[in-house]
Chains A and B, each alone.
Chain A
């Protein structure tokens, strides 16, 4: 997994609540068997008109936001389907951090598995950061996971909280399967206990 330490970049404001994963990447684009290449379909129903041409009103079709690395939105970002294609599409487009008042649980989990940092900040702060973002290319935001701060273009630092274990994995780009397999003995003994106490769980078709 790609590590996330600190990022300074253009932020795109998306002042919407309940941005669901069907909006982020519609189901008809989920047929690929690879993790790559979903960026071209990110927000497809908004970025493109029916004929396939770009919708110039959508923020990610405007300069400088085509190069956005940070997305700022409102409540319940990533609700709906569990599709990890949503963070894959955001990452493939170039977005490494989403800032919102809160996130849907599964999307929030999926972000951390892919080096995409979800940052929870109160709505009033998100509104303030959107104002910064509207200044365009002259107003870069910094998101520093090491120090757990967002730095506004005027230098003001806004602290945020991240789960310590997830922060550690993200800072170091660690694969958590490798971490879990260090507990293989504990898993073995759990299975032995369960086999004795709940034999009906050993499945068959």
Chain B
């Protein structure tokens, strides 16, 4: 019987959210949580106004500002850039007009949308979660089906709380074994992309499984799922378990008491059934993963830190060779050069990939008792006001500042070059963000993606460095 077919985590959440199936197989899928920010919503609200429509479920919608804002003290006196200011003011006008809950810039809980959703307890297992932002895949770490949408779909969700969707295929990424010293969720997710490529997950939802994933804390799982989109996947997910439930118990807005117990019964039924079929399976040995760093201009161009810049001449495929030549040229590299010989100008620790308290602890463990190398600008940008407060409570800000790092306010910052934090042409940056595309961090900027500990090591060394050579100098 069809009903008893073993199901994946994705299948279960999908099936529970189908409002109706249209004759051609397209599902009208119910959305449990709609996260929004200032960049991808103004045109959606204009659309609602033009059609005389309301926001159907303001209570399932949450707005925050993160992309456009400054991450220094200037935010307290207003946004300088007139276009950025207009975009933020437009969001504020829209949420007021349509009654949508909003966390303003100077609220303690303000932060990157993909940090605050889980942190506040709004992103929960079994949910469907969308946001006009591709890194919505992050929330899949909670055991939710979470994916990015465009502005027209934002308008569709605002108006109907549903989306028209075709089911995705299931892909399993199985990471087994002990993660080696110095390696993190970031190294896993980069190694996966290196293996399957930037389009390896297209049309699929990836479920990350295996004991190496199970042993990751929630921050590590969020980092892994965050970059599922960089492998082209519609979403990334990790089944909820005790780690997830303990995390939710500590959130301010998660369900409490009886509601929590009732939710727990549903959450425990979510993990993939034994015998469920995956359309695609990829296996990685966690122990074989070394600290990763990207050398090129897409996340698939990744190598262990011990690697050498590849030589395009070795690539037989003409189109791929041309792409590699362009990467080597844009990144200012010499084939055969050791990655650890690449001097960095800027170090950026932050973004929806790596700005949680665990990430900042990892950076501080390397920074403690050391100094940022001369000529390097190193910045740490916590993912939210709550992360910032917790880090300050633990004294991490002091350790980082003493080492010469800038300690900043929460926001997307230097991940994407649309606020004051950006690279200048030719600058080389060790970055914990998610995209090393040409110009992503500012026109002409050169991005190397890596983990927070690796980024801190690069800041101290002045060049890309192997974190395994940097034993922490004591507990933090």
Residues of A within 8 A of B (CB): 15-18, 20, 22-23, 26-28, 30-35, 45, 50, 74-76, 79-84, 87, 102, 104-106, 109-110, 113-114, 163-165, 175-177, 179-181, 183-184, 186-187, 190-191, 194, 198-205
The residue of chain B having its C-beta at the shortest distance from the C-beta of A30 within the complex is B39
- Asked if B51 is at the interface of the complex by the 8 Å CB criterion, the answer is yes
Q: List 19 A-B contacts (CB under 8 A).
A: A18-B298, A23-B437, A23-B439, A31-B39, A31-B87, A33-B43, A75-B199, A80-B229, A81-B134, A102-B202, A106-B148, A110-B150, A113-B150, A180-B164, A183-B162, A191-B161, A201-B60, A201-B124, A203-B122
- Asked if B53 is at the interface of the complex by the 8 Å CB criterion, the answer is yes
A113 and B319 CA atoms in complex are apart in Å by: 31
Given the contacts A28-B418, A76-B232, A82 and B149 also touching, CB distance less than 8 Å: yes
- B residues 1-38 touching A (CB-CB < 8 Å): 19-20, 22, 24, 26, 28, 30, 32-33
Q: Name the distance in Å between B371's Cβ and chain A's nearest Cβ.
A: 32
A105 touches B319 (CB 8 A): no
The residues of A that contact B417 with a CB separation of less than 8 Å are 26-28
Q: Name the distance in Å between A154's Cβ and chain B's nearest Cβ.
A: 25
The residue of chain A having its C-beta at the shortest distance from the C-beta of B252 within the complex is A205
The residue of chain A having its C-beta at the shortest distance from the C-beta of B318 within the complex is A15
Given the contacts A32-B83, A106-B150, A165-B24, A177 and B232 also touching, CB distance less than 8 Å: no
A34 and B20 CA atoms in complex are apart in Å by: 33
The residues of B that contact A194 with a CB separation of less than 8 Å are 30
The residues of B that contact A105 with a CB separation of less than 8 Å are 202-203, 232, 234
The residues of B that contact A200 with a CB separation of less than 8 Å are 124, 255, 259-260, 262-263
B60 touches A31 (CB 8 A): no
B425 touches A17 (CB 8 A): no
A109 and B26 CA atoms in complex are apart in Å by: 13
- Asked if B443 is at the interface of the complex by the 8 Å CB criterion, the answer is yes
The residues of B that contact A104 with a CB separation of less than 8 Å are 199, 202, 232
Residues of B within 8 A of A (CB): 19-20, 22, 24, 26, 28, 30, 32-33, 39-40, 42-43, 46-47, 51, 53, 56, 59-60, 62, 67-68, 81, 83-84, 86-87, 90, 101, 103, 120, 122, 124, 126-127, 132-134, 136, 147-153, 155-156, 159-162, 164, 166, 198-199, 202-203, 229, 232, 234, 253, 255, 259-260, 262-263, 266, 298, 319-320, 323, 416-418, 422, 425, 435, 437-440, 443-444
The residues of B that contact A82 with a CB separation of less than 8 Å are 40, 132-134, 136, 148-150
Q: Name the distance in Å between B28's Cβ and chain A's nearest Cβ.
A: 6
Q: Name the distance in Å between B145's Cβ and chain A's nearest Cβ.
A: 14
* Residue in A17, A20, A33, A81 whose CB lies within 8 Å of B42: A33
A196 and B147 CA atoms in complex are apart in Å by: 26
The residues of B that contact A164 with a CB separation of less than 8 Å are 24
Beyond A81-B435, A199-B259, 17 additional pairs, beta carbon < 8 A: A17-B319, A17-B323, A22-B439, A33-B87, A50-B443, A82-B132, A84-B152, A102-B199, A109-B149, A113-B150, A177-B53, A177-B155, A183-B162, A187-B162, A191-B30, A200-B124, A200-B262
A205 touches B19 (CB 8 A): no
Q: Name the distance in Å between A183's Cβ and chain B's nearest Cβ.
A: 6
Given the contacts A27-B416, A190-B19, A205-B101, A35 and B202 also touching, CB distance less than 8 Å: no
* Residue in B60, B152, B166 whose CB lies within 8 Å of A110: B152
A201 touches B32 (CB 8 A): yes
The residues of B that contact A109 with a CB separation of less than 8 Å are 149-150, 153
The residues of B that contact A201 with a CB separation of less than 8 Å are 32, 60, 124, 127
Q: Name the distance in Å between A59's Cβ and chain B's nearest Cβ.
A: 15
The residues of A that contact B83 with a CB separation of less than 8 Å are 31-32
